[in-house]
Structure 1
Amino acid sequence: MQGLRPEILAGIPDDMYSIVRRIEDSFAISTPDLRKLANHFERQLERGLTMDGSDIPMNLSWVMGYPTGKEKGRYLSVDFGGTNVRVCNTLLQGREEDFQMTQEKYKLPVHLRSTSAEKLWDFVACCVGEFIEKHHDECEGQRNQTGRMPLAFTFSYPVTQTSITDGILQKWTKALSVSGVEGNDVVSQFQAALDKRKVPVQIVALVNDTMGALISSNYRDPEVKISSVISTGCNAAYMEDYRSITKIESHFGPDQEASDRLMGINTELGAYDNSRNMLPLTHFDETVDRLSAHPGTQMYEKMVAGLYLGEIYRMILIELHGLGMISPGKDLPILERPDVIDASFLSVAEADMSRSLDEIKDLFKEKLQMDLTPDEVKVCRYLVELVGTRAARLYACSIAAICRRMKVTTCRVGADGSVFHKYTHFKERSLHALREILDWPYFSEDFVTFHNAEDGSGVGAAIIAAMALEKQGGGTLSPKAGF
């Protein structure tokens, strides 16, 4: 597999070597396999735009077209991602000037991850109220004719939208399981909580963080045409000609302006191959899925995203221990603890490129109370690379599929998320896999390049709010209005 260092395994016993090779074979993805996956991915993207649907929802954002770069003004936004509630007040000054932002973060209490809808939204509304009270002078001038402040709501979960101001939650992902929200409009629930607390705001746009990243990145750099977020979860967004979205043909008339023929698509591609037809699942992946908060869903995400990479590696270690390959005869109860290993652990382990591997040895001792022998350290270090390399190569399949869907050979991708920015070698391995899939000439520069995405959930939401209000002169937007 590209990127691995077989010399790490020099000198280990034959039985160890045999087991490592067996595990490696189950994680390896060849160039032909990458291309098959990318081709199938592209077909599923297309199918998601039809009435038939696919594992990839291809959710409509009702953000029509890219920003002009001239959007200006102050806008409130709320970013709800499941761990924190972030409230922002952003000043936009146009493409050529830097934005200014005031923000506060409020940690979501653990017990609210599985509470009722009423209690969840009351907490979020309380955060907004506290923010406005704390920054009263800054916020007061943003009231509209009705005495309310326009607010963009960033909600990082899959929703079905029929306009820019509504969104039915399809299902919770990641670690949330709040009752009474799935199948309901999150905007009306949140607005009701705001009204109950007499917080003077009006939600004018529902935004997905990945769509926000596309808009904010394009606002700064018009050459960015795709956004990708890979952190605890994974997702991507791009613009699609609405005439290709057959599941909404009835929404638009033939007189639609050419400038409004692009519809922002929030792919929610983490759900790719939930039907399990293509992904090269190992028994480690099957176990991680079975033990997850939402078994049988987000199968692609569970192979590439940060929330699950540590768990995959934990399952490998448990098997090695059971086979007597690491810490034989010793009890390792710490390995039975879910999430004891996270993506940052793997990234730190991969960063140890020394011959002695002292850093990874110390890491195992500090974090897992495991005192590894030299051969065990070699095996554990090598297997870390298997998990990270496979994740990067699978991730590249989605980017390649979207590029083909858009019929572009060169593209800038606005990328965000802790895995992309902080996981050792992830970006380089992704680019190498893209080169294999798209068959770039050997000595050519990269035709698809990654760039740091602008803040989608804060700045992007503010820009979308500005676009929404401009389209309707301060009102809310409907599909018939072209946004």
Structure 2
Amino acid sequence: MADVPKDLLQEIKRLEELFTVDKAKLKAITKHFISELDKGLSVEGGSIPMNPTWCMAFPTGEEQGTFLALDMGGTNLRVCEIILTDQKSEFDIIQSKYRMPEELKTGESDELWEYIADCLQQFIESHHAGEKTANFHLGFTFSYPATQDFIDHGVLQRWTKGFDIDGVEGKNVVPMLEAAIAKRGVPIKLTALINDTTGTLIASAYTDTKMKIGCIFGTGCNAAYMENCGSIPKLAHMNLPPDTPMAINCEWGAFDNEHKVLPRTPYDIIIDKDSPRPGQQAFEKMIAGLYLGELLRLVLVDLHDNKEVHIFEGQNIDKLRKAYTLDSSFLSLIEEDPFENLSETADLFQNKLSIAPNKSELELIRRLAELIGTRAARLSACGVAAIAKKKDYKTCHVGADGSVFNKYPHFKQRGAVALREILDWPDKKNPKDEDPIEILAAEDGSGVGAALIAALTLKRVKEGNMAGIGHPENYK
């Protein structure tokens, strides 16, 4: 950056100070995170809901049968048929994707469930036309914060990922979907409602016995792990055996909604203020894919409008002024630009925003993308470290899924460096050695995980363990 003008260099230095999270800060965040995890399991609760899921076992790898999985994500709806074979930890999968129409996300509740039931019906008709089939047991991946009194039950706490449909928050979503399915006479019984993060944990543990934590780093962020029922004070009234495992869906996007420890910048504060739900999902708004491009955009507009440097001088930045016009893939492309002159980044700005940055501005853009991407990865490691410390896991695997983890350059390596700093691991003797706690790409949680949880639930019912079962008739 030797040839970057002094005023731009000062701005880069200011941004480095704003977005850099040092080792001491990571440790302070992790310490507060552990206390918030504990609070969420307690009777009074806290910002992190720590939702019991009624998924009460890891898979053995011996599970068998044919199951349906329905994955309602933010962008797509996916229906899968999963055959758990008689080969240990092996499965076959058939799947279809359906686009989630944007208008459904803010439309009427009935329209949403009718659309989902239509997709299920289409799937069965295209794969089992003319067959006389018994009821399919369905694992429904509902990746929104939900309270579960039973495994076949889920009360939506709040919409996330751009959804805002009236009349669903505070209600059990299962009867809504069941009614739409019944109307079409489709042979499906909803066996388990799961969160994609719990599914990630279970699917990953199916193929890797070292898996202890499941995470999602995508449009949103979250984690799940197994807790002993004896360590969940808010379930004490259920009198469950204390050593019985229970998967906990942390919903940790809400960590530090009180703004006690997270190092928010003025740009994070704008993102929160202008979001549909100000004051909520504080952690998520600093690390999730939905917000990374918006952070970059806000900084660039601020530099153009308010700073002495006046980047993109004399150019029309109307396209850049449009909120959420950039997503995390835009940052990925900037960080992946292999050319010294950053020509791909220049093309990206020209094609997407009709802006022609000069060489110094390109250097600033690249550094800013690195700062935002690095901060997201380092903060995400605090949550993983908090669960590991709380459960005293010295070694384990963490299964991670989501577009940011899978596609964002250097995310995994940056997270690993932060874990090393937080947990004070000694330096590796051999660079190829595994870290004691390693974050790996997860198995398909919202498909295979949902099917496995349905299988584990059926097995539990057959053994006579009805804890957390709302409608026993659905398991016959």
Query: Normalization by structure 1: what TM-score?
Result: 0.93
Moved more, 128-137 or 118-127: 128-137
CA distance in 1 between counterparts of 2:106 and 2:423 reads 43
Structure 2 match to 1:371: 356
CA distance in 2: counterparts of 1:11 and 1:104, whole angstroms: 52
Partner of 1:4: none
Q: What residue number does 1:5 align with?
A: none
TM-aligned CA deviation for residue 124 of structure 1: 0.7
1:61-210 equivalent positions in 2, closer than 5 A: 61-94=53-86, 96=88, 98-136=90-128, 140-141=132-133, 143=134, 148-210=135-197
Superimposed CA distance per residue, residues 11-57 of structure 1 (whole angstroms, 9 cap, x where no aligned partner): 21111111221122111111100100011011101110001111111
Quick check: 1:347–1:424 contact (8 Å CA) kept in 2? yes
- Which shifted more, 217-226 or 354-363? 354-363
For 2:206 and 2:370, how far apart are their aligned partners in 1? Answer: 36
Give 1:198 shift: 2.0
The structural deviation recorded for 1:432 is 0.3
Residue in structure 1 matched with residue 277 of structure 2 by the alignment: 294
1:452 to 426, 430, 441: 441
Say which is worse superposed, 88-97 or 387-396, in terms of deviation: 88-97
Residues 373-421 of structure 1: CA deviation (Å, up to 9, x unaligned) = 1111111111111100111110110110010111111110111111111
Of 447, 461, 468, the match for 1:479: 468
Confirm or deny: 8 A CA contact 1:132 1:139 kept in the other structure: no
Among 29, 42, 61, the residue aligned to 1:37: 29
Q: In the aligned structure 2, how far is the partner of 1:158 from the partner of 1:120?
A: 17
Q: Any residues of structure 2 matched to 1:394-433 within 5 Å, and which?
A: 394-433=379-418
Deviation of 1:116 (Å): 1.7
The one-letter amino acid paired with 1:40 is H
Q: How far apart, in 1, do the equivalents of 2:417 and 2:131 lie?
A: 47
CA contact (8 A) 2:222 2:252 kept: yes
Contact between 2:69 and 2:138, CA under 8 Å: does it hold in 1? Answer: yes
Q: Name the residue aligned to 2:205.
A: 218
1:267 is the counterpart of 2:254 = no
Give me the whole-angstrom Cα distance separating, in 2, the residues matched to 1:309 and 1:273. 18
The whole-number CA distance in structure 2 between the counterparts of 1:304 and 1:87 is 28
Query: Unmatched 5+ residue regions in structure 1?
Result: 1-8
Partner of 1:385: 370
8 Å contact from structure 1 (residues 204, 476) kept in 2: no
Report percent identity of matched pairs: 45
Q: Deviations over 1:190-213 (max 9, x none)?
A: 111111222221101111111011
Query: Which of 286, 294, 297 does residue 303 from structure 1 map onto?
Result: 286
Question: In structure 1, what is the equivalent of residue 39 of structure 2?
Answer: 47
Residue 416 of structure 1 aligns to which amino acid in structure 2?
Answer: D
Q: Distance in 2 between matches of 1:320 and 1:94?
A: 60
Instruction: Give the match for residue 459 of structure 2.
Output: 470
1:356 aligns with 2:345: no
**1:244–1:476 CA distance, 2 compared to 1 (3 A):** closer
Structure 2 partner of 1:282: 265
User: Which amino acid is the alignment partner of residue 381 of structure 2?
Assistant: A
Distance in 2 separating the partners of 1:398 and 1:408: 13
8 Å CA contact 1:239, 1:262 repeated in 2: yes
Distance 1:417 1:95, change over 3 A: farther
Matched, 1:314 2:297: yes
- TM-superposed deviation, 1:246: 0.1
Question: CA distance change for structure 1 residues 304 and 139 in 2, over 3 Å: closer, same or farther?
Answer: farther
Alignment length, in residue pairs?
465
Query: In the aligned structure 1, how far is the partner of 2:75 from the partner of 2:162?
Result: 9
Deviates more, 1:373-382 or 1:31-40: 373-382
- The corresponding residue for 2:328 is 343
Q: 1:477 to 1:127 in 2, by over 3 A?
A: farther
SS of 1:414's equivalent in the other structure is strand
Secondary structure of 2:167's match? coil
Cα distance in 1, alignment partners of residues 416 and 273 from structure 2: 31
Give 1:273's aligned amino acid. Answer: D
1:474 offset after TM fit, Å?
9.6
Gap regions ≥5 residues in structure 2: none
Determine if the alignment matches structure 1 residue 250 to structure 2 residue 237: yes
- The amino acid of 2:444's aligned partner reads D
CA deviations 1:440-474 (Å, max 9, x no partner) are: 00235411112221111110111111111111129
Shift of 1:252: 2.3
- Taking the aligned partners of 2:248 and 2:132, their CA distance within structure 1 comes to 34
In the alignment, the residues of structure 2 paired with residue 179 and residue 151 of structure 1 have an alpha-carbon distance, to the nearest angstrom, of 26
Q: In structure 2, the residue corresponding to 1:293 is in which secondary structure? A: coil
| TM-score, length basis structure 2 | 0.94
Single out whichever of 263-272 and 446-455 deviates more from structure 2. 446-455
Cα distance in structure 2, aligned partners of 1:32 and 1:97: 41
Deviates more, 1:406-415 or 1:291-300: 291-300
Aligned partners of 1:306 and 1:138: how far apart in 2? 43
Partner of 1:435: 420
Distance 1:391 1:153 in 2: 29
After TM superposition, give the deviation of residue 352 of structure 1 in Å: 2.2
- For the 8 Å contact 1:27–1:282, the answer to whether it is kept is yes
Equivalent residues of 1:325, 1:376 under 8 A apart: no
User: 1:96 deviation in Å?
Assistant: 2.8
Answer yes or no: is the 8 Å Cα contact 1:95–1:219 preserved in 2.
Answer: no
Secondary structure of 1:85 counterpart: strand
- Aligned-residue offset at 1:149: 2.2
How many Å apart are 1:134 and its aligned residue?
Answer: 1.1
Post-superposition offset of 1:165 = 0.7
**How far is 1:331 from its partner?**
2.2
SS of the aligned residue for 2:294 comes to helix
CA distance, structure 2, for counterparts of residue 328 and residue 154 of structure 1: 48
**Conserved? CA contact 2:151–2:469, under 8 Å:** no
Deviation per CA, 1:67-100, whole angstroms, max 9, x where unpaired?
Answer: 1211101001111113221111100015635311
Specify whether residues 59 and 201 from structure 1 end up closer, same or farther in structure 2 by C-alpha distance, changes over 3 A only.
Answer: same
